[in-house]
Amino acid sequence: MAVRTKVGGGARQPRGTRVRGSQRPAKLPPGIASVLAVLSSSAVVLDSADRVLRASAAARAFGIVKGERLMVSELLALARQVRRDGEIRETEIEVPVPRFGGRTTSFAVRVAPLSGAVGGGGLVLVLAEDQTESRRVEEVRRDFVANVSHELKTPVGALALLAETIEDAADDAEAVRRFAGRMRQEAARLTFLVQDLITLNRIQAAEPIPDPRPVEVDAVVAEALDRCRMKANARGITLTSAGIRGAAVLGAEDLLVTALRNLLENAVVYSPERTKVVVNVATPGDGGVEISVTDQGIGIPERDLERIFERFYRVDPARSRATGGTGLGLAIVKHVMAAHGGRVIVRSAEGQGSTFTLWVPLRQEAVQ
């Protein structure tokens, strides 16, 4: 007669931990249940008859376990091998996940014998780690390296070509001067790219800012405006500042200046000549300070608004390159804000201009 027995000496068990059969059910070694309970990965303990003695919530959510059955035949086969020879095994498997509409998810799996079981051996522990996030990170890293290589190739190729041209035109002083100027431009482009990559790397390593200091917002605005003045003057663009004064935040002044300067430079290069760019400082009363940059420029199509903060994403790649853009400016802004516990928001309409707003928490003493 089949007897239904509860595991754990009559203690209330989660669903799916009951075992059927006349043999004496195995018990988990002491402490294992509490370890399994805190694991975020899918963990399953099988008894000597391949029944599930314990399964973590993740194992059930992914459909690896149903009731008291292990649903993945590959895992079952592995568990049997491990039980037979006591050797720990590792592998990667693809499992169709019902809650993802049957899409397969990759798991890194480790199967090991569980020694010290009370009331019968043969227990096997199956640990399955969802690889989706690590795969995504790896993909982002690969894309980034591919993008950087591509971005470097263009100016380096141009430099090689220009050097060749100069060699051929060695007797023509005017041509040599012209091509040398072009070489300087390409070298500058490379310098900007490398500088931006170093800045991005530095910020990503410093999220949040390790040693935040009081920073006067007025000083940040003045410094960023100063650094953009020449570029703006060259295009007849008026730079002005408005709003409240005396706000202070906690953070790294140089990084905040870099973020605001990137917004100002974009405002200048993506605007027609003889327009206005305004920096405004406000405290909306939510514990933060808003520093916004408004231009009368070309604006950004709605479909691109979400993507412009991605590294190397440009609405119009040709225009960005022509103006010496690296495609990293807004990615830097986004990371500087994250490092300060802040955020960046954009409002824009094609042909009507854009407003980028930095929101940074006010320094506590300064909150009114």
Whether residue 29 has a cis bond before it, omega within 30° of 0: no
Whether residue 301 has a cis bond before it, omega within 30° of 0: no
Residue 288 as a binder of ligand ADP (CB under 6 A): the answer is no
CB atoms within 10 A of CB 364: 9
Nearer to ligand ADP, 113 or 325 (CB): 325
Give the range of 28-36, 124-132, 169-177, 324-332 binding ligand ADP by CB under 6 A.
324-332
Nearer to ligand ADP, 72 or 308 (CB): 308
Give the range of 72-80, 84-92, 209-217, 313-321 binding ligand ADP by CB under 6 A.
313-321
CB atoms within 10 A of CB 221: 24
Contacts of 171 (CB under 8 A, 6+ apart): none
Task: Find the shortest distance in angstroms from Cβ 149 to ligand ADP.
Answer: 18
Nearer to ligand ADP, 68 or 295 (CB): 295
Q: What are the phi and psi torsion angles at 237 (to 5°)?
A: -95, 130
Give the range of 63-71, 129-137, 224-232, 308-316 binding ligand ADP by CB under 6 A.
308-316
How many CA atoms lie within 13 Å of 246's alpha carbon, on the beta-carbon side?
5
Task: Find the shortest distance in angstroms from Cβ 359 to ligand ADP.
Answer: 17
Give the range of 31-39, 137-145, 175-183, 290-298 binding ligand ADP by CB under 6 A.
290-298
Site for ligand ADP in 231-270 (CB under 6 A): 262, 266-267, 270
Site for ligand ADP in 325-344 (CB under 6 A): 325-331
Q: How many residues are present in the chain?
A: 368
**Residue 300 in contact with residue 314, Cβ under 8 Å?**
no
Burial 118-141 (b: 16+ CB within 10 A, else e): eeeebbbbbbbbbbeeeeeeeeee
Task: Tell me the sheet residues that pair with 277.
Answer: 239, 295
Structure tokens at 125: 């522990």
Residue 308 as a binder of ligand ADP (CB under 6 A): the answer is yes
Residue 228 as a binder of ligand ADP (CB under 6 A): the answer is no
Task: Find the shortest distance in angstroms from Cβ 190 to ligand ADP.
Answer: 14
Among 68, 295, 335, 362, binds ligand ADP (CB under 6 A): 295
Residue 155 as a binder of ligand ADP (CB under 6 A): the answer is no
Task: Find the shortest distance in angstroms from Cβ 151 to ligand ADP.
Answer: 10
**Residue 221 in contact with residue 281, Cβ under 8 Å?**
yes
Structure tokens at 31: 């402490």
Residues near ligand ADP (CB under 6 A) are 262, 266-267, 270, 295, 297-300, 308, 314-316, 320, 325-331, 354
